A and B are shown apart, each in its own frame.
Chain A
Amino acid sequence: MRGRDDEWTGLMRSAMAGDDAVYHRLLKAVTPVLRAAARRGLARAGQPVDQSEDIVQDILLAVHLKRHTWDSEAPFAPWLFAIARNKLIDALRKRGKRVFVNIDDFTEILPGEAPEETASASEVAAQLSTLPQRQRDVLQSIAVDSASIKDTAAKFAMSEGAVRVALHRGLAALTAKLRDR
């Protein structure tokens, strides 16, 4: 775990320094661990584990929007697991369960244990349709059509700056809707 944690910390430092590809790699690397923990939490609360992907996406959005609260001198894993734990507790509470989520749910997981497949998630997709047209267009273009910022700007006759603003506002609005729903 030590080596993995150090690797994540290094990746996050590069990501925060502006390396988008490394950021992408880091998010991909943490996702199986988050998924396994979400499944474990749901199973322990007697909930169907097929809802785990909604929780994973919730955690990823929070990680993204709150990454400025990570101190680049501190290890990344405790910060990540604290956010994941909070989101998992929130999700279980919304399902009417009060459960104790152990931090070990995250740290004990071995990499091989994590299921690899992406289960279906419905909540982000559902909230996406309630966003303003422009934000929805930009998010869909980048997420579903895998278009770059530049291509998206050309497609909608927007400036790249306007695409970036719409993208960030869309993600922030999505997160707020998921939280307050």
Chain B
Amino acid sequence: MDTDQLIRTLAADNAHRAPRVGAVLTLALLVAAPLSILIFATFLGMRPDVMSAMHNPFFDMKFAVTLSLAIPAIIVSLHLSRPEALMRGWGWLLLLPVGLLAVAIGGEAMMAPAMPMSMRLVGKNSRVCLLAIPAMSLPLLAGALFGLRHGAPSRPALAGALAGLLSAGLAATLYASHCTDDSPLFVATWYTLATALVAAIGALAGSRVLRY
């Protein structure tokens, strides 16, 4: 087939309209979410004192941190699904959860400590946290990668890492309602480790499946 023939064929297919990447990503995440919620409901569940915990600002802060990771990661991953997109000017969005955590850690440091620092840092759930967040992330990560495959990222590994960040952010939002460790020190340590693991898996998978 010479190039003129190919061009003629492509022009004949011009009527085909593909949905936007954002629509496909949203749909894929909605399909994947019940699987993550099932893992949550089966193995974790909400903590029994969730009603009183809601009055604790450090409990609420966990959701602010996880959502400030998930939502910007969704926005940046959609941005990067365009081939000519650059990271410049967008990276700061991913620092939002870091800034929030720093403020929360500072806030906790100024209060009279309820527990020694080592207790707050290690908590009671570090092992569960390191397992549960990645486990609940995996269905969402698969959905995110499926959605982003519809785009044309110039840096597949970076786009994959963002898919990892957004799925870890969403999974951590679920997990935060189970975990009784509310100290920002715990969140900064164990949530971050779990998130980094999922981001690494995402980058590895992305470098394979997000090439177009």
Binding site for B on A (CB under 8 A): 15, 18, 20-21, 23-24, 27-28, 31, 53, 56-57, 60-62, 64-71, 74, 78-79, 81-83, 85-86, 90, 118, 120-121, 124-125, 128, 139, 142-144, 146, 148-149, 164, 167-168, 171, 179
> Which chain B residue has the least Cβ–Cβ distance from A76?
B84
Sample of 6 further A-B pairs with CB below 8 A, known A56-B3, A68-B19, A86-B152: A61-B6, A81-B84, A86-B154, A120-B2, A121-B1, A167-B9
* Interface residues of B, dominant DSSP: loop
Is the Cβ of B9 less than 8 Å from the Cβ of A27?
no
Q: Which residues of B contact A81 (CB under 8 A)?
A: 84
Complexed CA–CA distance, A70 and B85 (Å): 11
Which stretch of B10-18, B50-58, B132-140, B171-179 is in the interface?
B10-18
Choose among B21, B84, B212 the residue with the greatest number of A CB atoms under 10 Å from its CB: B84
Cβ–Cβ < 8 Å partners of A65 in chain B: 18, 212
Contact residues of A: prevailing secondary structure:
helix
Q: Give the residues in chain B near A53, CB-CB below 8 Å.
A: 2-3
* 27 A–B contacts, CB within 8 A, in A order: A20-B15, A23-B14, A24-B7, A27-B7, A53-B2, A61-B6, A62-B152, A62-B212, A64-B13, A68-B18, A69-B21, A69-B82, A71-B82, A79-B83, A82-B154, A120-B2, A121-B2, A124-B6, A128-B1, A143-B1, A143-B9, A144-B5, A148-B12, A164-B13, A167-B12, A168-B13, A179-B212
A68 to chain B, nearest CB (A): 4
Chain A proximity of B151: nearest CB distance (Å) = 5
Interface residues on B, range: 20 to 34
Q: Mark B4-38, 1 if CB is under 8 A from A, else 0.
A: 11111111111111111100000000000000000
Q: Is the CB of A66 within 8 A of B83?
A: yes
Chain B residues within an 8 Å CB radius of A128: 1
Task: Identify which of A18, A24, A74, A121 contacts B8 (C-beta below 8 A).
Answer: A24
Contacts of B21 in A (CB 8 A): 68-69
With A79-B82, A82-B154 in contact, do A124 and B1 touch (Cβ < 8 Å)?
yes
Q: Nearest 4 CB-CB pairs, A to B?
A: A24-B11, A82-B83, A82-B84, A66-B152
Question: Is the Cβ of A60 less than 8 Å from the Cβ of B81?
Answer: no
Select one of B11, B81, B84, B152 contacting A20, CB under 8 A.
B11
Q: How far is the CA of A144 from the CA of B8 in the complex (A)?
A: 9
One digit per residue, 1 when the CB lies within 8 angstroms of any chain A CB and 0 when it does not, for chain B 112-154 equals 0000000000000000000000000000000000000001101
Tell me the smallest distance from the CB of A23 to a CB of chain B, in Å: 5
Min CB–CB distance A117 → chain B (angstroms): 10
- B211 on interface, CB distance cutoff 8 Å: yes
Q: Are B3 and A78 within 8 A (Cβ)?
A: no
Query: Do residues A121 and B3 form an inter-chain contact, with CB atoms below 8 A?
Result: yes
Verify B152–A83 contact, CB threshold 8 A.
Answer: yes
